Amino acid sequence: MTFGRARSERKVQEAPGAPGAPARHVAIIMDGNGRWAKKHHLPRVIGHKRGVEAVREVVRAARHMRLEALTIYAFSSENWRRPEDEINDLMGLLRAFIRSDLEEFVANDVRLKIIGDYGVFAPDIITMIDDALARTSHNTGTTLAIALNYGSQQEIARAAEAAARKGAVTVEAIDAELDTADMPPLDLLIRTSGEVRLSNFLLWQAAYAEMQFLEVLWPDFTPAHLREALDHFATRERRFGGR
C-alpha cells in the first residue's frame, strides 16, 4: 500500500539513527510557575514573572548552543479557564516580554514564530506580535516558536480539514498544514514541574520525540538543565520503528 510505504520512507529519511546526533528541535512545556510562587510564599504573578526570566536565559542558551528550533508552551487554548486576573497578568507579561526582548532577538539572529491562534488576543498584542514577526522574519539562527492560545487537537483538526480541501488526507499532507510545517522534526520534548502529561501540546509532532519529565519548577529551570537534557538526548538510540 502506497500510504504505508511513503510514510516509512519519510521516517527513515528523517531518522538521524545513531546515538550522538544532536537535537535540532526542542520543545518545552514550561510548567510550575504557580507552585514555585506558593513554595516561596509569593503571589502567583511573581512565579510567572520569574518564569519569563527563565525563558529569556533559555532562549539565549538555545541560540548559543546553535539549536535550530525551540518551541515553548506559553499559553494553551485551555488556559482561558483560569481566573481573569491571572489571564490579565499573563497578557501583561507577554506585552512586557516582547517590548523588552525583541531587540535582542533582532540582533541575535533569532526568528520569532507563533503557533496557535493569537488572533483572539487584544489588538495591541496582535500588532506587537505582527511587528515582532516581521522584524525577525529574515533571521536564520534559532527559530523561537511561542505557543499562544495553542491546542494540538485543534491544530490537527484544522490541518486535516485543510488537507482534505486540497485533496488527500495523508500523513504528509497533514504535516504540511500544521503550524510547525516549516520547522525541523521535533526531537526532544521537556516538561518541567513533575507532571507527566502533554496537556494538548504537539501531540502529532511528538510521535517519535524523546521525552523528559523533570521535577524542577519552570522558574528554577536554567541553561544547565537544557544542556543536561540535550546531553541525555544524545545518548538515546532512536529507532523510529526499525531495529
Contact pick of 31, 177, 179, 187 for ligand IPE (by CB under 6 A): 31
The verdict on 33 binding ligand IPE (CB under 6 A) reads yes
Q: Where does this chain touch ligand IPE (CB under 6 A) — which range of 60-68, 74-82, 96-104, 121-129?
A: 74-82
Cell numbers standing for residue 177: 498544514
Task: Indicate the helix (H) or strand (E) that contains 219.
Answer: none
Choice between 87 and 162, CB closer to ligand IPE? 87
* Closest CB 98 distance from ligand IPE, rounded Å: 16
**Catalytic hit among 33, 79, 109, 124:** 79
Strands 25-29, 188-191: pairing kind: parallel
Binding mask 25-64 for Mg ion (x = CB under 5 A): ------x---------------------------------
The verdict on 45 binding ligand IPE (CB under 6 A) reads no
# binding residues, Mg ion (CB under 5 A): 1
The C-alpha angle 219, 225, 230, rounded to 5 degrees, equals: 140
The verdict on 129 binding ligand IPE (CB under 6 A) reads no
Choice between 31 and 187, CB closer to Mg ion? 31
Strands 69-76, 25-29: pairing kind: parallel
Task: Indicate the helix (H) or strand (E) that contains 89.
Answer: helix 84-107
Question: How far apart, in Å, are the Cα atoms of 56 and each of 46, 51, 105?
Answer: 15, 9, 10
Q: Which amino acid is at 36?
A: W
With CB atoms as reference, the residue minimizing the distance to ligand IPE is 34
Cell numbers standing for residue 55: 525563558
74 binding partner (options ligand IPE, Mg ion, none; Cβ < 5 to 8 Å by kind): ligand IPE
To the query of whether residue 124 is one of the catalytic residues in this protein, the response is no
The verdict on 154 binding ligand IPE (CB under 6 A) reads no
Task: Indicate the helix (H) or strand (E) that contains 78.
Answer: none
34-63 as b/e: b if 16+ CB within 10 A = bbbbeeeeeebbbbbbbbbebbeebbbbbb
Contact pick of 90, 144, 186, 190 for ligand IPE (by CB under 6 A): 90
Contact pick of 193, 202, 205, 209 for ligand IPE (by CB under 6 A): 193
Q: Cα–chain-centroid distance for residue 206?
A: 11
To the query of whether residue 109 is one of the catalytic residues in this protein, the response is no
Choice between 45 and 183, CB closer to Mg ion? 45
* Closest CB 29 distance from Mg ion, rounded Å: 9
Question: How far apart, in Å, are the Cα atoms of 184 and each of 73, 115, 134, 191?
Answer: 17, 14, 21, 20
Residues that bind Mg ion (CB under 5 A): 31
What residues act catalytically?
A: 31, 79
Residues that bind ligand IPE (CB under 6 A): 29-35, 73-76, 79, 90, 193, 195, 197, 199, 218
